[in-house]
Structure formats: C-alpha cells, structure tokens
Amino acid sequence: MTPTPTLPTAALVKTPSWPVVATRWALQLVVIAGLYAALQAVAGSNRYYEVVLTQAGIYVIMAVSLNLILGYTGLLSIGHAGFMAVGGYTAAVLTKFFHVPFPVALLAGGVVAGLAGLLVGIPSLRLRGDYLAIATLGFGEIIGVLLALVDEVHVAGRVIEIGGGQGLIGIPRYTTFAWTFLVTVLAIKLTWHFVHSTHGRACIAIREDEVAAEAMGIPTTRYKVLAFSLGALLAGVAGGLHAHQYLYLNPALAGFMNSVFILVIVVIGGLGSTTGAVAAAIFFTYMNQAVPNWLQRLNLPAQLDPAAVRMVLFSLLLVMVMLVRPRGLLGGVELTWEGVARWAQGVLNRPGSGRRDAGKGGRA
C-alpha cells in the first residue's frame, strides 16, 4: 500500500494565534493614535496646516481607491475624478438642502458613486486595455457635462439648485482634520483587508493574467466590477470630504486633468502598493503647496502659472520614474509589521552591534 504523500511542515500556512492577532491590533491602534495626536498638534497650531493635512488625506483616499482598480486589478481608469464629483455633489446636496447628518451624507455619497461605478462597470469592464480607458474617460466627461448643464432639479416639490456651470455654492463646512483622518484610516484598512482576502487574490490573478485566471474558474468580470465599484465608492467619500472642506463644487472636478493627476500619483507611488499610494499622495500635496513658494523665492516672471509649472514638473518626474522604475517607486512593496521586524533584526545583527557582540562574548 502506497503511503499518502504529505506536505512538508514549512509549506503549511499557519494562522496566527489570537494573542498575536490581538497584539498586532493593539500596536496598530497605538501607532494610529500617536500619529493622529502628532498631526492634530500640527493642524491645531495653524489653519493653513489643517487645510493642507486635510487635502493630503483626501488625496490619499483617492490614490488608494484608484490603486485598487489599477494597481491590484489591472484596470486602466482615467475617469476616476467623475466618481469623486458624483459623491461630492450627492453629499453636498444632502447636507445643504435636506440637512442630513454629515456622516450619513458621506456614506450616501460613497454609495451613489459606487452604484455609478457598478453601472459603468457592468457594460464597460468586458473591454480591455485602451478600450476600457477610453470608456472610463467618456464617463468622466459625461459627468462633467451633465453637471455643467443642469442648473436645478425638482425633488419632492423642492427646487435643488445644482448651479450648472457656475458650480454649487453655500455648502456647509463639516470636514475637519479629525473626520478626514478617520475616513483615511478606514479606507486604507478596507483596501488592505480586501487585497489580502480571497477576493483580492482573485483581482491580483486577473491583473497578472486574465486569460489564465478565467481558465482557473475565476469569474473575471464579476471581480473586476467588484473592485471597480469599491474604488468608486471610496472616491465618492473623498468627494464628500472635498465638498465640505472647500464649500464649493465645480463641474471641472470631474475633468480629465483631475483624473490624470490622481493617475500620476498612483503610477509614481507604485502600482500594487498601498504604501506607495499613500506616500506619493502626501508628496504631491506638499509639491502643490511648495511650487508657488519656489517660484516666488526665485523671482521668476509673474506670467508663469504655478499650475502649469506643477504639471511640467510632475510630467518630468513621471518620465524619469518610468525609465528607472516602470512599476513605480514602491511597486509591489508594502510596509508591514513583519518587514519592520526583519529590518530591526537585521540592524541588531549587523557586525559591531551590541546584540551580536554579546552573543560572541557568551560563546567565548
């Protein structure tokens, strides 16, 4: 009788025990609380810093949501700002005209944007490559045109003034750094757990080889629609934060340039890296504020438009990164507790470190 072959012990994936899981969650809460306290101290000292940190959080949510679609699932979407506009207008209308609580309005804006992603994704995600990019570009332009053409909407006998091309004004200020930080952390955690779940693995398989994934029984269209809708939902929530931060919405929010800006953040940060998306979003937020100051200090001609100079610098940076790191600066690299532990162990075990020297002395 032939014995049943068994897998070697090293090949088995061990599930961490509950004390290990509890310790990891406790460490995460401590790190998050400490980071919030430090950033809140900076934001509370100056209104300008609060606005910049809040904008950085909004960009992080947008970058993480697009990275889920492009970096992890491999779907090239260049109309992502359209979902941000849908969520922003929905949340703003609910708080301004119907006095809906801010958290409920944010969630409703995300749900409406997610439904928009579902409606766009079902017919268009059967396409691939450039055809999908063109379809998503068309969606973003359609949203911008519709928002520019619609001046008012009649709902239940009430007139809802959207503003048309002039934009929606008079939005109440509800967005604070605390709300933005909370939503940003939740968006990152949601994306992280989705990517490391069975559904996320299926999305990564589709990114690597869609034909092979379909041959293995993975319903590719279903998972692509799922990732696309989840990314759109997060973008809609970011749009709600944006609307209640600047108290004004313009149809240009759904424009092509805004979508390209978010795309550049994701590509430079690194495809398939949540850490890279977060780092790149923070860096580009700093650059948006720093470039006008640099132009002023260099005494350059006043005719130079800071926005145009920023786009030139970002384009040059994108070209350089694509030549050196085609997958982005942190493509496929994540900051994890295991990675930090391995780095710390490597530092302690370097020649000349106290731990290594103590071990040698004990053996002697």
Return the residue matching tokens 């200090």.
297
pLDDT band at 196 (very low <50, low <70, confident <90, very high): very high
The model's pTM = 0.89
Looking at the predicted structure, is the pLDDT value of residue 363 above 70? no
Which neighbouring-strand residues pair with 153?
Answer: 160
Looking at the predicted structure, is the pLDDT value of residue 358 above 80? no
* DSSP H/E element including 287: helix 274-297
Per-residue pLDDT at 182: 97
* Angle of the 306-324 helix axis to the 274-297 helix axis, nearest 10: 140
Looking at the predicted structure, is the pLDDT value of residue 189 above 70? yes
> Mean pLDDT across the chain, nearest whole number?
88
What region does 101 belong to: left with phi over 0, alpha with psi -120 to 50, or beta? beta
142-167: average pLDDT: 88
Q: What percent of the chain has pLDDT over 90?
A: 65
Q: Which residue has the higher pLDDT, 66 or 159?
A: 66
100-127: average pLDDT: 93
Q: pLDDT tens digits for 30-58?
A: 999 999 999 999 988 889 999 999 999 99
Per-residue pLDDT at 11: 42
pLDDT band at 285 (very low <50, low <70, confident <90, very high): very high
Per-residue pLDDT at 12: 43
Looking at the predicted structure, is the pLDDT value of residue 178 above 70? yes
- Domain boundaries along the sequence of the chain: 49-254
Per-residue pLDDT at 159: 84
**Between the CA of residue 171 and those of 53, 66, 74, 100, 105, what are the distances in Å?**
20, 26, 36, 12, 12
pLDDT band at 21 (very low <50, low <70, confident <90, very high): confident
Looking at the predicted structure, is the pLDDT value of residue 352 above 70? no
* DSSP H/E element including 153: strand 152-155
pLDDT band at 15 (very low <50, low <70, confident <90, very high): low
157-163: average pLDDT: 85
**How is 249-263 classified by DSSP, letter by letter?**
E-GGGGSHHHHHHHH
Per-residue pLDDT at 203: 95
Q: Rounded distance, CA 130 to CA 136, Å?
A: 10
**Token duo for residue 357:** 């020297």
Between 2-6, 45-49, 320-324, the lowest mean confidence (pLDDT) is in 2-6
3-state helix, strand, coil in the chain (%, to 5): 75, 5, 25
Q: Which residue has the higher pLDDT, 49 or 364?
A: 49
* Angle of the 177-195 helix axis to the 18-45 helix axis, nearest 10: 150
Per-residue pLDDT at 14: 59
Per-residue pLDDT at 242: 97
144-152: average pLDDT: 92
Q: What percent of the chain has pLDDT over 70?
A: 90
**Token duo for residue 222:** 């279903």
Residue 45, CA atoms < 13 Å, CB-side half-sphere:
7
